[in-house]
Amino acid sequence: MRKIDEQKKQLIEQTVFVITKEEGIQGLSFGKIAKRAQVSSGAPYVYFKDKTDMLSQLYLKVKLLADDHLQQDIDKGKTIEEKLFLSVNHFARVYANYPLEANFMTEIRANPKLVTAEVRAAGNRSAKPLVEVMQAAIAQDCVTTTNVEYATVLLFAPFMMLLSERAAVGQTASLDELEAVVHLAVEGILKK
């Protein structure tokens, strides 16, 4: 069995993120990845069985990165409104700090069948603290919708759009700007 070279694996993973950003997830192939990473054509097969395995592993890795410390951030809030803000702001910071990985997640969300159902389920389990905050907000009747999916869209779309629009013109959004947008999004779904 071949020895795992962690640096080479990280180079291949980073190349996947770059190609996904530049060409979309449909543009990925092991040959293209190897060429761009300047590794042998067989190198990706050392780490991944096939494209589905590669995308599934990377999805879960990025999902766990995004969800890391989520519960600790939520626990800093005293009220449900603070907890909602802290949970959404957590993801806004992650997306700002890891733009290639955030783009990859967006591409996978638009093409969920590219990863295994088991990996999607594991990813959903890692976001359980966010779901629990949403459910608590609904149970306390402090939000304008009882639909968790609608609430998630209303909370996440504003900061994602700001990041996307800035990236399209080669700029970034500051953490202060993201925080302001997240505050507005949270205020927008709270009952008055």
pLDDT for residue 3: 66
Q: How large a percentage of the chain has pLDDT more than 70? A: 98
Show the tokens assigned to 120: 């999607």
Mean pLDDT of all residues in the chain?
94
pLDDT for residue 32: 95
CB 178 within 8 A of CB 159: yes
**Angle at the Cα of 90 from the Cα atoms of 18 and 25, rounded to 5 degrees:** 25
The pLDDT confidence band at residue 2, using thresholds 50, 70 and 90, is low
Alpha-carbon gap, residue 16 to 103, rounded angstroms: 11
Left (φ > 0), alpha (ψ -120 to 50) or beta: where does 162 sit?
Answer: alpha
pLDDT for residue 5: 84
pLDDT for residue 30: 95
The pLDDT confidence band at residue 27, using thresholds 50, 70 and 90, is confident
Dihedral angle sign, alpha carbons of residues 75, 156, 184, 161? positive
Q: Is the pLDDT of residue 1 over 80?
A: no
Dihedral angle sign, alpha carbons of residues 171, 177, 183, 189? negative
- For residue 163, which of 98, 74, 80, 108 has the smallest C-alpha distance? 98
Least confident of 1-15, 21-35, 69-83: 1-15
The pLDDT confidence band at residue 16, using thresholds 50, 70 and 90, is very high
Q: Which residues contact 166 (CB under 8 A, 6 or more apart)?
A: 172, 173
What's the pLDDT tens digit per position in 69-118?
999 999 999 999 999 999 999 999 999 999 999 999 999 999 999 999 99
Alpha-carbon gap, residue 116 to 52, rounded angstroms: 7
